[in-house]
Amino acid sequence: MASASSGPSAVGFSSADSGAPACPLPSVPGGKRSMTSEAPCASGMPIKKIGHRGVDSTGETTYKKTTSSALKGAIQLGITHTVGSLSTKPERDVLMQDFYVVESIFFPSEGSNLTPAHHYSDFRFKTYAPVAFRYFRELFGIRPDDYLYSLCNEPLIELCSSGASGSLFYVSSDDEFIIKTVQHKEAEFLQKLLPGYYMNLNQNPRTLLPKFYGLYCVQAGGKNIRIVVMNNLLPRSVKMHIKYDLKGSTYKRRASPKEREKPLPTLKDLDFLQDFPDGLFLDADMYNALCKTLQRDCLVLQSFKIMDYSLLVSIHNIDHAQREPSSSETQCSTDTRRLAPQKALYSTAMESIQGEARRGGTIETHDHMGGIPARNSKGERLLLYIGIIDILQSYRFIKKLEHSWKALVHDGDTVSVHRPSFYAERFQRFMCSTVFKKIPLHPFWKSLKSKSQSVPTEQKTSDDLEQDSAISVIPRCQLLPQQC
């Protein structure tokens, strides 16, 4: 019934592709966007096999020779059963042994006393650390019925791009959760990290680290397909105009020409420095909150000797979006999604950092759709969707060897693979000095604001209050004087 996993592994964990366009499945609304050249659901187009991910003779995506439709069905049947059976168990404190429990249930196609009949091949469904993950979901305010409804009420939507890992990505129809296939060593490493992950979440539920809600395994056709359920960083209801995978490294950190052909390519550090040489400007309170959260998260990763992680930064340009033509059908769909309350706490970019910018600050905080308000050097309004990804990189011998080899032919301090302490320091420095910056105030406005803040609110005259209001909505030219 229960088994313990073995030691960790230096295997990557990439969710950067979770922002890829969804495959156009006619039966599933909200997934109609153009495909990359390797998308399995492009009409009649062959795809390149990457890792365990491929395509069968009918053109359907496969993973370890199991079709995507069969895998999605098995996932939904398995999660329905495991969450239902877990609800019969009384709630209690999480014990150390709970992190290593693996529960298993067999799903024959003809059905059984415990499982319904289905039209897929026989499969076995395993649930890792069910009590521990139930606690994680409760910590983020996810009720069992909401979890089931999101993942099992409607068909999962497949995301087309698998990236270099060859993983499959699915998103729930309500945009709440991402399901990703992971390798054996990744699942082992995640299970080994669970006690420390538990401790960190207890101390700090607001984090940019991935939020894990469940770890499962589908055994089908003699193969083990392990999947993890996580928070969705990039809502499909918000159009992303540009996306970056940033490590704070410059060695070969530029997107390939092939990557740039995609509808929403994942660009890298050198691309960001070229596109945003002045960085992204945030309200002072927002900037401080973001950097504080990054510092705390990097300290956690460093304590686990984890490195080579990235910050996924996806940008929605509000001003561009307002100028873009949009159909009434798309607008209606977007408005409906935005009105739906989010099930998971602390899962949007705004909620993941400590605190918000004060109302009346230099950037509008209303109607941010979960994104962090920012501006570029032109003064255009942006929404940033961010999160730390690729966290399952253990700094072991293979990575030490990789760094030593690269350092022979290039400056060792600029390559992405480095010892965890140096990596964390360089990562924070790059993000908080090059990528994100405080909005600069014109000296005249800055002096007025300082003078205004020195007067207690109860002693301010009507003229003072009117002046405060004028300062809080500083014209774009004064915010960014270099553009005047």
- Provide the pLDDT for residue 473: 40
Angle of helix 462-472 relative to helix 443-453, nearest 10 degrees, comes to 140
- Mean pLDDT for back-to-back runs of 10 residues, the chain (484 residues): 39 41 37 33 50 79 87 94 90 91 94 92 95 93 93 90 74 92 89 90 88 94 93 88 91 88 90 94 93 93 88 94 66 43 77 57 56 92 93 57 50 59 91 92 51 55 49 43 42
pLDDT value of residue 289 = 93
Q: Which pLDDT value is given to residue 297?
A: 93
Rounded-to-integer distance, Cα 277 and Cα 437, Å: 11
Nearest residue to 103 via CA among 73, 77, 83, 76: 83
Question: Which phi and psi (to 5°) does residue 56 adopt?
Answer: -90, -175
pLDDT of residue 314: 95
Distances (CA, A) of 188 to 118, 250, 414: 30, 31, 30
Crossing angle between the packed helical segments 68-86 and 144-152, to the nearest 10 degrees: 170
Fold designation for 233-321+369-441: 3.30.810
What's the pLDDT at 108? Answer: 94
The pLDDT value given to residue 35:
31
Which tokens belong to 457?
């609110």
Q: Measuring CA to CA, which residue among 159, 175, 171, 209 is closest to residue 75?
A: 171
| Confidence (pLDDT) at 340 | 59
Hey, which bits of 5-83 come out as E strands? 53-55, 61-63, 66-67
Task: Tell me what pLDDT residue 40 has.
Answer: 34
Handedness of CA 385, 259, 390, 3 (dihedral sign): positive
Domain boundaries, the chain: 48-232, 233-321+369-441
Tokens of 478: 């004064």
Backbone angles phi, psi at 178, to 5 degrees: -110, 135
* Domain 48-232 coded CATH 3.30.800.10: yes
